[in-house]
Amino acid sequence: KLTTVEEFEAATEKLLETGKKVGADAWQYRAAKQTPHCKFGEQGVCCRICAMGPCRITPKAPRGICGCDVHGIVGRNYLKFTAGGAATHSDHGREICHTLYCAKPEGPYKVKDPEKLIRIAKEWGVETEGKDIYDLAHEMAYLGMSEYGKVFGTQNFLKRAPQHTQEIWEREEIAPRAIDREVSCSLHMSHMGCSSLPEALIRQSLRAGLSDGWGGSMAGTEFSDVLFGTPKPIETEANLGVMVAENVNIVVHGHDPSLSEMICEYADDPEMIAYAKEMGAKGITVSGVCCTSNEVAMRRGIPMAGNFLQQENVVLTGACEAIVVDVQCIFPALGPLSKCFHTKFVTTSPIAQMPDAEYIRFNAETAGENAKAIVKMAIENFKNRKPELVHIPDMKQKATVGYSVEAIVKTLDGVANSQVDEMGTTKPLLECITSGVIRGAVAMVGCNNPKVRPDTAHIELMKKMIANDIIIIASGCSAQAAARAGLMDKEAKELCGAGLKRVCELADIPPVLHMGSCVDISRMMILAAELAKDSGLNISQLPVVGCAPEWMSEKAVSIGNYVVATGIDTFLGVDPYVSGSDQIAQLLTEGVRDWVEAAYTVEKDIDKLGDAMIARIEEKRTALGI
């Protein structure tokens, strides 16, 4: 049985009651105070990139002081937004490369998937024969970091795309060069007095996005797998009920698995567990919020307490000894909120420093000591709990997660007929799609946003898709919404159409496959590339679409741009501040199709959004004659 959004909301209400007792603020109250939002900001027509402004475009004032029109302003804002996202994801990837550079056989960071390391090295033309695996790791980490500032050429990973896609990127001059260069170039182009031509701004937005998806994010995913293991199907649980009242609860939040992996490692240490018992707890429970939760769920089965808009709820349970964060999507609200409870809010990265936090600087070189200190701090905080404030909503769902591309291909091998099918390919999946047993696939990704009733769009759209025999691959907070609702339980096959249900039974999979965190949308790109190569089709011909119905972050726009630029139509439920310019909106929703064979659709009505995705998938099928 699925957990409904109404049940999520009732649980939240109860937690907010606890919050009221201690004078806690919450996003629900702040959102109410911030609405209605500024119309100029919403439409993207406000410019404050030089000190002659701010200028805002109205019918009476159609140009800024420099003469820039609304299309230039909206386009520049869009490009800056993209650059923010590309920088953020890519810097995460760089951190992972750095962690790999620090890997040592004696730990704390080891090479857990040497095979994958060798595979990537061969792809990049690096000699692997007779090399010590750690020497190779350091060499590849160095090369990985060099991708950010390479002087000539384009990103190494682009060669993974089908020939046709690579040709498009070359032809349209959007093949990303050095990752840092694309981010810098975007900020340069959107400086006062540079580009105001919509085509140029949107073209660079695609290129910066590609430097993320096929550059920084892909490095983040691939080298995380090398370090921490490539995910394979694993059982876990999701929703706030995964926290355990009798245990020391440590919640990891953020994105970089370098931190969360170490916390999990030390929370599992018998010495630490014994210490927790000494302090009056029964044990230690690590659970997660946001993408770092996805990382450790995929590799270790660590339960997922919640997604983006649940981060405050974790503290509101009164049972969180420490919420340990690294980078991205962390509410600064956690500082003051944790002060209302006994919770320690621990920041660890120079990239994400916040007031009202305990800052324990986390370093790849000293990771072991840092993680131990944090776990110890949480244990010692157990005695400070206020029992009268403890309330953990009794709701959780089972979930099977861990569907890397490697795991999907392996699962497909299990259902393939070894007499006729080629093993180690996506062909069995293609056969299901061709025969119509599965109509297509939707990549559901992205955040929560108070502008959309949280989680509803994710869950309702997924239910609608699977009922129509469309399989879902999910990542980020969308994946967590699915897991919390119960859509990653294999029993969710009962909600599928007959075709997809049969596939779920045969392959022993849930209808919604968890592919990881948001950087792992690069996995989805690789899957799409493999499907295209195995079928001999172009990516844009596949009955596959992307969807971010509740997105909120700059990263999400960067992702959208690389998904579209890879040839996959992308459906958004929130407008990316471009409604103020018909030219920019037209380019994103139609014009870019002439360049990259895909475009955006923005539709705030969830039902219509779902219908539009199904229609697009069916159109693609008709065009293929299947």
Which residues of this protein are in contact with ligand BF8, per CB under 6 A? Answer: 255, 290-291, 308, 329, 446-447, 476-477, 517-518, 553, 555-556
What stretch of H or E contains 7? helix 5-21
Q: SS3 letters for 98-152?
A: HHHHCCCCCCCCCCCCHHHHHHHHHHCCCCCCCCCHHHHHHHHHHHHHHCCCCCC
In DSSP terms, 234 is beta-bridged to 401
Question: Which listed option, ligand SF4, ligand BF8, none, makes contact with residue 584 (CB within 5 to 8 Å by class)?
Answer: none
In 3D, which of 620, 521, 570 has the Cα closest to residue 214?
Answer: 521
Cα–Cα distance, 118 to 166 (Å, whole number): 24
Measured from the CB atom, the residue of 186 and 553 that comes closer to ligand BF8 is 553
Question: Which listed option, ligand BF8, ligand SF4, none, makes contact with residue 49 (CB within 5 to 8 Å by class)?
Answer: ligand SF4
Q: What is the strand order of the sheet 470-475 is part of? A: 512-516, 470-475, 440-444, 544-548, 570-572, 600-602
Cα–Cα distance, 2 to 329 (Å, whole number): 27
Measured from the CB atom, the residue of 535 and 553 that comes closer to ligand BF8 is 553
The yes or no reply on residue 197 touching ligand SF4 (CB under 6 A) is no
String of DSSP letters for 216-279: IHHHHHHHHHHHH-----EEEEESGGGS-TTSEEEEEESS-HHHHHHHHHHHT-HHHHHHHHHT
Measured from the CB atom, the residue of 241 and 476 that comes closer to ligand BF8 is 476
Applying CB under 6 A, which of residues 38, 52, 61, 615 lies at the interface with ligand SF4? Answer: 52
Question: Which listed option, ligand BF8, ligand SF4, none, makes contact with residue 54 (CB within 5 to 8 Å by class)?
Answer: ligand SF4
What stretch of H or E contains 407? helix 405-415
Applying CB under 6 A, which of residues 15, 45, 49, 314 lies at the interface with ligand SF4? Answer: 49
Take residue 291 and report the two structure tokens written for it.
């993408």
Applying CB under 6 A, which of residues 7, 22, 31, 53 lies at the interface with ligand SF4? Answer: 53
Task: Tell the smallest beta-carbon distance from residue 442 to ligand BF8 (Å).
Answer: 16
Task: Tell the smallest beta-carbon distance from residue 551 to ligand BF8 (Å).
Answer: 7
Measured from the CB atom, the residue of 22 and 66 that comes closer to ligand SF4 is 66
The yes or no reply on residue 47 touching ligand SF4 (CB under 6 A) is yes
Question: Which listed option, ligand SF4, ligand BF8, none, makes contact with residue 345 (CB within 5 to 8 Å by class)?
Answer: none
Take residue 556 and report the two structure tokens written for it.
């999400």
The yes or no reply on residue 41 touching ligand SF4 (CB under 6 A) is no
In 3D, which of 328, 266, 409 has the Cα closest to residue 88?
Answer: 328
Question: Which listed option, ligand SF4, ligand BF8, none, makes contact with residue 48 (CB within 5 to 8 Å by class)?
Answer: ligand SF4
In DSSP terms, 443 is beta-bridged to 473, 546
Applying CB under 6 A, which of residues 10, 38, 61, 65 lies at the interface with ligand SF4? Answer: 65
Interface with ligand SF4 (CB under 6 A), residue total 14
The yes or no reply on residue 192 touching ligand SF4 (CB under 6 A) is yes
Q: Which stretch binds ligand SF4 (CB under 6 A): 50-58, 347-355, 366-374, 438-446?
A: 50-58
Measured from the CB atom, the residue of 69 and 534 that comes closer to ligand SF4 is 69
Task: Tell the smallest beta-carbon distance from residue 560 to ligand BF8 (Å).
Answer: 12
DSSP-derived secondary structure letter, 543: S
| Residue with the CB atom nearest ligand BF8 in the bound state | 447
Asked whether the beta carbons of 567 and 446 are under 8 A apart, the reply is no
Task: Tell the smallest beta-carbon distance from residue 233 to ligand SF4 (Å).
Answer: 51
Applying CB under 6 A, which of residues 26, 68, 79, 374 lies at the interface with ligand SF4? Answer: 68
Phi/psi for 571 (5° steps) reads -110, 125
Q: What residue type is 456 in one-letter code?
A: T
Task: Tell the smallest beta-carbon distance from residue 349 to ligand BF8 (Å).
Answer: 15
Cα–Cα distance, 470 to 478 (Å, whole number): 16
Asked whether the beta carbons of 85 and 182 are under 8 A apart, the reply is no
Measured from the CB atom, the residue of 80 and 621 that comes closer to ligand BF8 is 80
Task: Tell the smallest beta-carbon distance from residue 42 to ligand BF8 (Å).
Answer: 19
Q: What residue ranges bind ligand SF4 (CB under 6 A)? A: 47-50, 52-55, 64-66, 68, 73, 192
